[in-house]
Amino acid sequence: MKKILFLTLAIILMSCNKHQNPFLKTWDNEFGLPPFSEITNADYLPALDEGIRQHSAEIQAIINKPDAPTFENTIEPFDHSGELLGKVVGVLFNLSETNSNDELDKIVLTATEKLSEHNDNIFMNHELFKRVEVVYNNSANLQSVEQQQVVEKIYRKFHRNGIGLDAEKQARLREINKQLSVLEQTFGNNLLAEVNDFQLVIDNEADLAGLPQSVRDAAAEDAKNAKLKEKWLFGLQVPSYIPFMQYSEKRDLREKMFKAYSSKANHGNEHDNRQVILNIMKLRIEKANLLGFNTPAEWILQETLAKNPATVNKFLTDLMTAANAKAKEEVAEMQKIIDDENGGFQLAAWDWAFYAEKLRVKKYDLNEDEIKPYFQMEKVRDGVFYCASKLYDIKFEPLKNAPIYYPEVEAFKILNPDGSLVGILYTDYYPRKSKRGGAWMNNFREQQVIDGVDVRPVIVNVGNFTKPTSEKPSLLTIDEVETMFHEFGHALHGLLSKCHYSTVAGTNTPRDFVEMPSQINESWAFQPEVLAVYAKHYKTGEVIPDSLIAKINNSATFNQGFMLTELVAAAILDMNWHEITSIDSIDVEKFEQESIKKMGLIDEIIPRYRSTYFNHIFNSGYSAGYYSYLWTEWLAKDAFELFLERGDVFDPATAKSFKENILEKGSSGDLMELYRKFRGQNPSIEPMLKSRGLK
């Protein structure tokens, strides 16, 4: 009996040993990329625990150094520490957003708690802080501005994470951080579940009235994939929702879709986010108070270019006044169309996209369905790469046989003229139930220099663009084209980084600067020279005709009242949430409606994100920071103006200066000084207002 038992145990152990945790061995493929196919859900938490153990040991080794604290023996090893933990976190959180499942969601919740505790253990460590403080107090003697920036950033992070609190308050802050990490992840999980749960199933072809054939085909294929025979399926993912709202002649169905979209996570079910929001805000307020601030906004904005809520609020109020006036003009134009057609109703929020499309056709003879055949996804991406190559002297090559985490994902290596590596780029562009909505850039590996070796970054660009069907490739809308250029601007910020320390490398800048490189990159999307490169008909290969290019550019300021108003409204709503001092007696919906009324938002428009699905501010790090899209647009439009002033959107000297002063620098210097070095003057808001049609 014992022999049988020992034999059984041996077999089990042999079976277990066949799978070695991929995080705990060297990634020996050519560029050290994550071996996605080898990683299982069971690997994450053991690897995370080992990563935390190793990182803690590295921190303790810094503390135990007998020599007096210096940048070289304290700050540099601190910046470079946590390699294994970074590998685990990079894969886990990227995949939890792009290819998640119920089991992975639970793993992430556990991981966020562990990481919160680990972060607190570091930044509430008085022995470590004493060493950092010594270096900080002598930072004027450091070798470079970059080193000074690194020291200052780390020193401030200790204070912002409670190093100055007594033991009792630190213990409470630890608990707050742990609870927030779980609540914020829960918010995102609830939102993804809500998006996936909604289906508009159409079984009567008459209810497809107005929808282009391409939209019908995509809906039919979605229905087929959902095992719904001879039906059409529409959902709340943007590539399905937007064209339905834009083209459907069925006003009742538009209303149904709009109300489903605008009430996500607000249905009183297990995925309702209202109480989650209140719980988050209660803890954020308490955290701010513990750290000596009246509101979360005061604490958050201390680390930004704007510095304080008053500056942000004035900026948004001024924009809202101009945007609202423009939006009211647009309402009048669309209402006239309704009246001319004897519609017999007042324009409502669910009518806006439909009548805006009619108005665009009327004013500019621009039908987006006529343009989409020229915007095949792969060719648009070629255009994105073309611009980067021409501007920054880099080249792109497909990376065949690269490990990928989903069949649709593609990989590219980016090279300098001498063949040296700039970085690796993954693109993941289509929606699926396992991916959260929106578009973003993230890192699997950040750029830094360790022991003289320049560790090049691994970047991912994610989108939720129009999917290919069995009949057609992916054909993008104008907005999707712009979004691809936008996210690649973030990718360039990460890829071209030439910093020594990850603390300040790449996109590790304040929120109200990080969106500038992405927004300026949009400026090349519809330049005639660029369109001639990528905008080719997917069937004939014909280059987009000049007449269509003119229509696109002539309509550039179309519907900007709406676009700007919904964006400003969301930013104001964000600020309103983060300037409260208590959640007592707050009802989420009433609070939101009072905010909308106070900001003067017209009835026909709602904020781009309502509270229960405002993932940016309750889960993605943009709390009291959504204004940054507008703040950085001001910088981006002003920056592109320099190219225009020099008469060449690819002016080599301007591009070289932008690369060297902005894209390569991260936050390794004073950001506004770097900007002025590039621009030669302080930024002006005039180019932004002009581009929005407000001047």
* Residues identified as active-site: 487
Residue 524 is classified by DSSP as G
- Residue 267 burial (10 A CB sphere; 0-12, 13-18, 19+): middle
The three-class DSSP label of residue 376 is: strand
Q: For tokens 């991912």, name the residue.
A: 460
Question: What SS3 class is residue 346?
Answer: coil
**Helix H or strand E segment including 641:** helix 628-645
The strand ranges marked E within 429-536 are 440-445, 448-450, 453-455, 458-462
Cα 258 to Cα 89, 242, 244, 253, distances in angstroms: 36, 10, 10, 8
Contact 566, 607 (CB under 8 A): yes
Amino acid at 46: P
Distance (Å, whole) CA 6 – CA 23? 30
With the CA atoms of 59, 63, 68 and 71 taken in that order, what torsion angle do they form, in degrees rounded to the nearest 10? Answer: 20
**Burial category of 9 from C-beta neighbours within 10 Å (exposed 0-12, middle 13-18, buried 19 and up):** exposed
Contact 651, 660 (CB under 8 A): no
Instruction: State the Cα–Cα distance between residues 262 and 611, nearest whole angstrom.
Output: 10
Alpha helices (H) along 138-166 = 145-160
CA–CA gap between residue 370 and residue 552 (Å, rounded)? 11
Q: Give the chain's length.
A: 695
CB 229 within 8 A of CB 221: no
Cα–chain-centroid distance for residue 27? 27
Residue 307, judged by CB atoms within 10 A of its CB (0-12, 13-18, 19+), counts as middle
Q: Print burial letters for 533-543: b (CB count within 10 Å at least 16), e (below 16).
A: bbbbebeeeee
**Nearest CA among 445, 378, 447 for reference residue 410:** 378
Cα separation values, 649 from 209, 521, 523, 556, 645, Å = 42, 11, 9, 17, 9
